[in-house]
Amino acid sequence: MRFDVITLFPELFAPFLEAGITRRAYAGGQIDLKLWNPRDYAEGNYRRVDDRPFGGGPGMVMMAEPLARCLAAVRAARADAPDGQAPVVLFSPVGQALRHAAVEGWAASRGAILVCGRYEGIDQRFIDAHVDMQISLGDFVLSGGEIAALALLDAVARLQPGVLGDAGSHQADSFNRALDGLLDCPHYTRPEEWAGQRAPAELLSGHHAQIERWRREQRLRLTARHRPDLITAARAAGRLAFEDEAYLRGLSGL
């Protein structure tokens, strides 16, 4: 798959491509990442890409024309690529919140053209003419879309075959369908006792069925406490067994 990123700061992506386990997705060619700077498509000696907003107000607004020219170059480059054309995605507070199900969809897709805004935003005419989808990471504002793009790329990269050391690692992640959309359970490692706290006896028992039941109950407990909406969704989808419901009824203080 191929992702093209339109950004005024392509240098922010270099460390991401060279460090961590997700670099395998790029080194191995599973994800082809191209970076495009709209300043290269701006006119004038100063390659200006922003201007003051009509109506006044603080800050600057990214101009539509340099972005449109940059996007045209991206589409031309993708025309002869194996993955062909792809949707144009803008990271914006008005977008839908990014969820694991959407990440799974992107991980199996042909990729996308990711637009990273800056300053006070992007001229709405470019958005109306060219953007197919808007995505948000949550109810907060970043300095630009680059961090959001990196978050999406990281989430997609770790789902590619062979990227994680254990092929089944991501199936035990929070929100995964293999866990019925619940949060993951707590994890422990050596030593068995640290700072006066011992690892749970169930995990040291060697009894696989007991271990799995403990993990399931911890997932239910954490999810019910911190994300009850996920319990509601799992229940509506018929993913909770009789013993799950019995355990949830026995929880106190939730």
| Residue 78 near residue 84 (C-beta atoms within 8 A) | yes
- Catalytic residue list contains 186: no
Report which of 17, 31, 34 is spatially closest to residue 70, judged by C-alpha positions: 34
18-55 residues labelled b (16+ CB within 10 A) or e (exposed): eeeebebbbeeebbebbbbbbbebbeeeeeebbeeeee
169-199 residues labelled b (16+ CB within 10 A) or e (exposed): ebeebbbbeebbbbbbbeeeeeeeeeeeeeb
Q: Which of 158, 215, 216, 219 does the annotation list as catalytic?
A: 158
- Catalytic residue list contains 158: yes
- Catalytic residue list contains 48: no
Q: Which of 65, 83, 104, 173 does the annotation list as catalytic?
A: 173
- Catalytic residue list contains 93: yes
Token pair for residue 226?
């911190």
Report which of 17, 75, 69, 29 is spatially closest to residue 48, judged by C-alpha positions: 69
Q: Which of 65, 83, 104, 120 does the annotation list as catalytic?
A: 120
Q: Which of 93, 99, 212, 225 does the annotation list as catalytic?
A: 93
What is the DSSP secondary structure assignment for residue 227, as one 8-state letter? -
Q: Which residues are catalytic?
A: 93, 120, 158, 173
